[in-house]
Amino acid sequence: MCLGIPGKVLEIYEKDGILMGKVLFGNVKREVCLSFTPDVKIGDYVIVHVGFSISIVDEKEAMEIFKTFSEIDEVYK
Amino acid sequence: MKFISEYKNREIAKILLEKIEKTLKNKWIIMEICGSQTHTILENGIDTLLPENLILVHGPGCPVCVTPIEIIDIAYNLSLREDVILCSYGDMLRVPGTYGSLLDAKAKGANIKMVYSSIDAIKIAISNPFKKVVFFAIGFETTTPMNAKAIEIAYEKNINNFYVLISQVRVPPAIEAILNSPYCEINGFLAPGHVCTVMGYKEYEPIAEKYKVPIVVTGFEPIDLLEGIYLLVKALEEKRYEVINQYKRSVKREGNLKAKEQIFKIFEIGDMKWRGIGVIPKSGFVLKKEYKRFDAINLINEKYFSKENEICIGAEILQGKKKPFDCPAYKKICTPENPLGALMVSNEGACAAYYKYGK
């Protein structure tokens, strides 16, 4: 139930006074309510739960684990 | 898919498993709260790769599983009324109640619509002004802002044929209920990443301190789970009883302020019954006084008789006391095709996960 899927924001617009957008998941495009992430920009990745974005993916934090492990790799080499 | 496939990386998984093995000195029992995490663990065989001294138990984090049978029975009976359209997330449709599931009601002619989002239920209410449209508003903190948004829209647009049947629960009081049990042996928790995306993790800090249990806010992919387990083991061995955030790409300490604001505009904290556990004080979100007219309970005059299946041990499994294979019905008379209890139905239920991944 608490499933959240990351998708890329392609469009942002208002519909009936609500902040909405088109979000791409793999190759599926869906309309998503963006009102809980008002600072979202086109190109951002958002985590979407039951048709609403709940966070904007922090790309720097997302890469942290790979950075840490590539440094470990360097040490082992 | 970006931000999913990278977190299934084999090499990093191996390094994390080695780190867990090297760090682990004592025997620890840890609980993952969220049912989605239980599925990732079983799907990827993470439980079989961990050292023997590290025992994983599965928690109550499956909203479908903890929705009380009384509420399911109300939904079932409401859906059979000619003046009602019941809108529900797909997960709820197969959960067995006293009279059957919502799918059984649909087979009897009930008007039940599966919705993807609470906004869909609002649209159905607008296009069916002569019907009472009841949205089955279940969920943890992750789903509560969306339920609140639908009620706000109904309030602002005067959609007076829209109702909500509510079963919304909060994770922190459930963790405390588990820890307060005299039989509790759990040493640390993996907290659910999407609940904390909405709520943040300030609420977990006093729990970690009071009960001396480290809590790691964790994501949902295999690498997230392994890193979460590693951070938890490390904290346990170092006797650090604090909250650690593994799922930083989505979770901030203060949570999503907009979503929290939306919750507390419509709801307030109240007592809530959990299926299999009972009433946990302050463990739910209930309608504030000014929105009580949207409560679907207003539509019923009678009390429906409710009775749990006597064989199913779902209650003990939800609390981490037993595992699915301890149940006499598991795989014999209880299967995903013919579930006795909610845990065999839901995609997040522990019994369904054990069944699907061949335990």
DSSP string, B283-334: EEEEE-GGGGGGBGGGG--S-------SS--HHHHHTTSS-GGGSTTBTTTB
CATH architecture of A5-76: Roll (2.30)
Asked if the C-beta of A1 comes within 8 angstroms of chain B's C-beta atoms, the answer is: yes
Q: For helices A59-76 and B10-23, give the axis angle rounded to 10 degrees.
A: 70
Q: Is A1 helix (H, G, I), strand (E, B) or coil?
A: coil
Quick check: B145 and A52 CB within 8 A? yes
Residue A75 reports pLDDT greater than 60: no
Please report which helix (H) or strand (E) contains residue B250, including its range. Answer: none
Cβ pair A49:B195 closer than 8 A: no
Q: Per-residue DSSP letters for A10-56?
A: EEEEEETTEEEEEEEETTEEEEEE-TT-TT--TT-EEEEETTEEEEE
- pLDDT at residue B140, as a whole number: 96
Provide, rounded to the nearest whole percent, the portion of chain A with pLDDT above 70. Answer: 90
Answer whether B142 sits within 8 Å of A72, measured CB to CB: no
* A24–B contact, CB cutoff 8 A: no
From the candidate CATH numbers 3.40.920.10, 3.10.129.10, 3.40.50.300, 3.40.50.11740, the one assigned to the domain spanning B65-170+255-299: 3.40.50.11740
Looking at the complex, does the CB of residue A20 fall below 8 Å from at least one CB of chain B? Answer: no
CA distance linking residue B149 with residue B121, whole number of Å? 11
Q: What is residue A61's three-state secondary structure?
A: helix
Q: pLDDT digit string (tens) for B227-243?
A: 999 999 999 999 999 99
Question: B105-152: per-residue pLDDT in tens?
Answer: 999 999 999 999 999 999 999 999 999 999 999 999 999 999 999 999
Measured distance CA(B149)–CA(B151) in Å, rounded: 5
CA contacts within 13 A on the Cβ side of B341: 28
| DSSP symbol at B55 | E
Give one word for B172, left, alpha or beta, with left for phi > 0 and alpha for psi -120 to 50. alpha
pLDDT bracket for residue A77 (50, 70, 90): very low
Report which of A33, A39, A7 is spatially closest to residue A19, judged by C-alpha positions. A33
CB contact under 8 A, A6 and B1: yes
Per-residue pLDDT at B97: 94
Smallest Cβ distance to A54: which of B15, B194, B348?
B194
How high is the ipTM of this complex?
A: 0.92
Q: Say whether B53 sits in a helix, a strand or coil.
A: coil
Q: A36 vs B258: CB contact, 8 Å cut-off?
A: yes
Q: Which helix (H) or strand (E) holds B90?
A: none
CB pair distance less than 8 Å for B249 and A2 = no
- By Cβ distance, the residue of B15, B146, B249 closest to A50 is B146
Q: How many CA atoms lie within 13 A of B345 on its CB side?
A: 26
B248: nearest CB among A6, A26, A58: A58
Q: In angstroms, what separates the C-alpha of B73 from chain A's closest C-alpha?
A: 20
From chain A, the residues in CB contact with B248 under 8 A are 58, 61, 64
At residue B353, what are phi and psi to the nearest 5 degrees? -65, -45
State the distance between the two ends of chain A, measured CA to CA, in whole angstroms. Answer: 43
- Please state, in angstroms and rounded to a whole number, the distance separating the CA atoms of residues B186 and B213: 8
Residue B53 is predicted with a pLDDT of 96
Q: Do B259 and A36 touch (CB under 8 A)?
A: yes
Report phi then psi at B243, rounded to 5. Answer: -100, 130
Residue contacts between A and B (CB atoms, under 8 Å): 117
Nearest to B119 by CA among A44, A48, A67, A9: A48
Contact B117 A54 (CB under 8 A): no
Nearest to A66 among B6, B140, B220 (CB): B6
Q: Which helix (H) or strand (E) holds B349?
A: none
Chain A CB contacts of B256 below 8 Å: 36-37, 54-55
- A5 Cα to chain B: minimum distance (Å): 8
pLDDT along chain B (359 residues), means of 10: 90 95 97 93 95 93 91 97 96 92 97 96 98 97 98 97 97 94 92 98 98 98 97 98 98 98 98 91 97 97 91 88 93 90 85 89
pLDDT score recorded for residue A1: 67
Rg over CA atoms, chain B: 21
Backbone angles phi, psi at B121, to 5 degrees: -65, -40
- Which of B2, B34, B259 comes nearest A45 by C-beta? B2
What is the pLDDT confidence band of residue A73, given thresholds at 50, 70 and 90? low
In this prediction, residue B295 carries a pLDDT of: 98
Residues on chain B touching A51 (C-beta within 8 angstroms): 116-120, 146
For B106-170, strand residue ranges (E) read 112-114, 132-139, 162-168
